[in-house]
Amino acid sequence: MNSYGLSEEPTVEWSVVESGIGPLLLAATSAGLVSVAFHADPAVRDATLARLRTRLGAEPVEAPGSTRLAEPIRRLAAYFAGERQDLGLELDWSLTAGFHREVLRELASGVPYGTVVGYGELAARVGRPEAAQAVGVAMGSNPLPVVVPCHRVVESDGGLGGFGGGLETKRQLLALEGVLPQPLF
Q: Nearest CA to 26 among 64, 57, 58, 81?
A: 64
d(CA 139, CA 150): 6
Name the residues annotated as catalytic.
Answer: 150
